[in-house]
Structure 1
Amino acid sequence: MKRQPGKAAIYLVLFLMSLSLHIQFPIFTPFAIAIGASSFFVSILLSSSSITNLFGHVIAGPFIDRIGKKPFIVLPLFLSSIFMAAHATAHDPLQLLVFRILNGFILAFMGPACFALLAAYARNRRQEGKNMAIHGLTVTLANIIAPFIGGRLADVFDYRGTYLFVGGALFIAALLALAFVKDVDPIIVHTRESTSLRAILSNKKLLPLFFVGFALMFGHGALIYELPFLTVEKGLSSTQTGILFSFMGFGSLVSLSFFWLNRFSATGRIVIGMVLTGLLYYQMAAEILPVGMTFDLFGMGLTFGLIFPAITSLLAQKVGHSQYGSAFGILSAVFSLGAILSTLTSGLVRHLMSPYFLAFIVTTLGAVYLIYDHMKNKKLESPLYN
């Protein structure tokens, strides 16, 4: 009985957190440019939080396994509410960079804790997949409406007022997490903090999964970097850019609503999703088919909703229960690394070639590596059914 209220609480907290953070997606780039940031410095700003995420994720994992998950959900939310509101006080790009770095580091502890707690709520593999899918569904619902809300808030209250709103929403999420989120597992103490982390890093069977995670977020980072430039270069309003982001969220919502997909192998879902994602990036770069950006983003959302729960579910299947914190910490660090390299390279090459083409190459390599590894290791699950 304890698990159900705990799951409901964490889904609600994740919804509010995702809503708050994604509100800034359509406004961050134009806000940074408005206070003097160049296009390359925008890429540094976007990647800075990912860099601090990377180190924070690796540090967080073993502590989550030792201390428990709830403290690493509640405290980061309280601190993030302060740092997000502080964005409203930035008057030059360097100040904005400091706030991004601080916020990125403290939120790095929250992601692995949430994934580990949701995995701990499950009693079997099917429930693990379902929990991750519901997590994705909850976050996606927030992602659909958040960019639109962010664009409207920016148009009405300007960028600074929007960041004050985000800080307040995160503070409410922190209060809810403090009151209702529950740990369900006893605290597991290890004699050495690095034991579980070292075991995960030395597990060669996890390398393909981590590379797929890197490739997925590399492409996603290129999308997050490039799309807001439509506001600056094509004269779109923040609201219009936010609506484009919402199409991607709506695509994810559709695929995540198909819970019957959990009957299929996580490996098969990842491979199919990565191949389709690569093709979509190629379409966005070359514009071969006469379809609009809304179609591309809706399709991208469909594939993202297929891949992401499969990655987290497969990782939970491949590691021990006591290593959830470390495993999801490393996976989150890999996600951050993909976003870091993506935004930096996008800022460097966007005047020479489309960042979407780089995303196509990396995403396709991820799919090929996973297929190769599956064919090489016959003991892995069937590509179609568990």
Structure 2
Amino acid sequence: MKTALWLYLFLFIAFFDLHAQYPMLTPYAVSLGAAPTFIGWMMGIYSLTHLPGNLLAGPGVDRHGSRRYIMMSLVAAGIILIFQAFITSPWELLVLRAFSGFVLAFLSPACLTMLARLSDDHVTQGKYMSGHGVIHTSASVISPAAGAFIVASFGFRTTFGSLGLILIATGIMAYFTLPKTRPAITTAAESADTETTGRIVPDWRYFLPPFVIACAQGILFYELPLHGAGGASIMSTGILFSIISLGALLTLSMLFLNRYSPIRRLIIGIFLMALCFYLMAVTEAPLGLLLFLLGTTKGVIFPAMASLFITLGGSHLGRTFSLQSIVTSIGSFIGPVLAGQMHGYFSPFFAAFLILMIGLAFTPLRRIPHPVSVPAAKKAA
């Protein structure tokens, strides 16, 4: 439990730092002279460069443990943020966002793997994942508005530089506080399965949900700062992002949901998220209310998705979470790029609805049995 608390503390600081940038990036790019289409590519390149990092992260975490990758990812991201404070052109921002995407690709697989190995009980694992979601969401509730306030008060350079220093300090603290984790041990059954089938990953269709959700979120992150006549201000954009997080925090706090089937929670959550995007596209309902409801679906989806991949991953959690991060990165790249091309011609929100429904149609609906144990679970405690 002590390891989980330390990890939650560092994750809160890291997520606060990263989410505080969301309302800043589009106005910062505009201040450097970037066009809307270029901004879409700038946001998408971050996710595209996740791919090589994700490919390296999975085997590395399974082989060496999570601690060093958490430290390296946070420190490198902090250094990049400091450089980002002194750029003078959109192309420099594009390059730095590309590097940032690569180094932060190691963070999610490492953190999720460490949390999953703290217990061998699927309900407890689900609670740890919900706790991860609560920390993530709590940080994202206040960080967009806080980031918008800080940049309005002190400017872009001071804000990016300060956030970078905080990330560096957090990474160093994590390295000296979190325990070393041993690599997972493959069971005899899993070894036999690998030898006979050549696979250590689940059915590819289970990776459709993270792909379509990331794509829809990428569309939202692009469109929200530009939504409305003349675009939204930095402060109002930050508030809108915080409203989404408040909705997610509500459902993440309902820990009893972890007792229900992950695949069932996932399917219901995706359907309701698609419905929210549809209503944003075709109705004049209050945007704040729809974003709050969309946030509640995220609070259902993400713990369910994490529990599903823990079940499917077995002792290869690093590789499984790495593959999840890869498809998430691809979706996060396609989303804003697609939104940038459609902006002004077709509703990006309706495109997000279609993408989610197509992904939902191909997701397997069969129930996944919970594993009896995870061999390496207690070794990280």
Same structural fold, with TM-score higher than 0.5 when normalized by the shorter chain: yes
CA RMSD of aligned residues (A): 2.3
Q: Which amino acid aligns with 2:305?
A: I
2:307 aligns with 313
Aligned length: 366
1:67 aligns with 64
CA-CA distance at 1:326 after TM superposition: 0.6
Q: Assess if the C-alpha contact under 8 Å between 1:67 and 1:188 holds in 2.
A: no
2:144 aligns with 147
Which of 114, 119, 125 is residue 117 of structure 1 equivalent to?
Answer: 114
Equivalent-residue separation in structure 1 for 2:193 and 2:154 (angstroms) = 47
Q: Assess if the C-alpha contact under 8 Å between 2:62 and 2:183 holds in 1.
A: no
1:210 aligns with 207
1:204–1:67 CA distance, 2 compared to 1 (3 A)? closer
Q: Assess if the C-alpha contact under 8 Å between 2:225 and 2:233 holds in 1.
A: no
Q: Assess if the C-alpha contact under 8 Å between 1:120 and 1:185 holds in 2.
A: no
What is the correspondence of 1:9-28 to structure 2 with a 5 Å cutoff?
9-28=6-25
1:275–1:198 CA distance, 2 compared to 1 (3 A)? farther
Which of 356, 367, 378 is residue 363 of structure 1 equivalent to?
Answer: 356
1:196–1:223 CA distance, 2 compared to 1 (3 A)? farther
2:272 aligns with 276
CA-CA distance at 1:42 after TM superposition: 0.3
Equivalent-residue separation in structure 2 for 1:278 and 1:186 (angstroms) = 38
**Per the alignment, in what secondary structure is the counterpart of residue 358 of structure 1?**
helix
Does structure 1 residue 256 correspond to structure 2 residue 249?
no
1:242 aligns with 238
CA-CA distance at 1:220 after TM superposition: 0.7
Q: Which amino acid aligns with 1:302?
A: T
- TM-score for the superposition, normalised by structure 1: 0.90
Q: Which amino acid aligns with 1:265?
A: S
2:285 aligns with 291
Equivalent-residue separation in structure 2 for 1:109 and 1:197 (angstroms) = 25
Equivalent-residue separation in structure 2 for 1:201 and 1:341 (angstroms) = 30
Equivalent-residue separation in structure 2 for 1:344 and 1:160 (angstroms) = 26
1:133–1:197 CA distance, 2 compared to 1 (3 A)? farther
**Per the alignment, in what secondary structure is the counterpart of residue 89 of structure 1?**
coil
Equivalent-residue separation in structure 2 for 1:243 and 1:308 (angstroms) = 22
CA-CA distance at 1:185 after TM superposition: 3.5
Equivalent-residue separation in structure 2 for 1:187 and 1:357 (angstroms) = 43
User: Could you report, residue by residue, the CA deviation over 1:247-300 in whole angstroms, capped at 9, with x for unpaired residues?
Assistant: 00000100000000001110110011011000100111111xx42111111011
Does structure 1 residue 334 correspond to structure 2 residue 327?
yes
Q: Which amino acid aligns with 1:268?
A: R
Equivalent-residue separation in structure 2 for 1:10 and 1:37 (angstroms) = 37
Percent identity reads 32
2:158 aligns with 161
Equivalent-residue separation in structure 1 for 2:135 and 2:180 (angstroms) = 20
1:54–1:363 CA distance, 2 compared to 1 (3 A)? same
Does structure 1 residue 351 correspond to structure 2 residue 351?
no
2:28 aligns with 31
1:301–1:211 CA distance, 2 compared to 1 (3 A)? same
1:32–1:368 CA distance, 2 compared to 1 (3 A)? same
**Per the alignment, in what secondary structure is the counterpart of residue 121 of structure 1?**
coil
Q: Which amino acid aligns with 1:141?
A: S
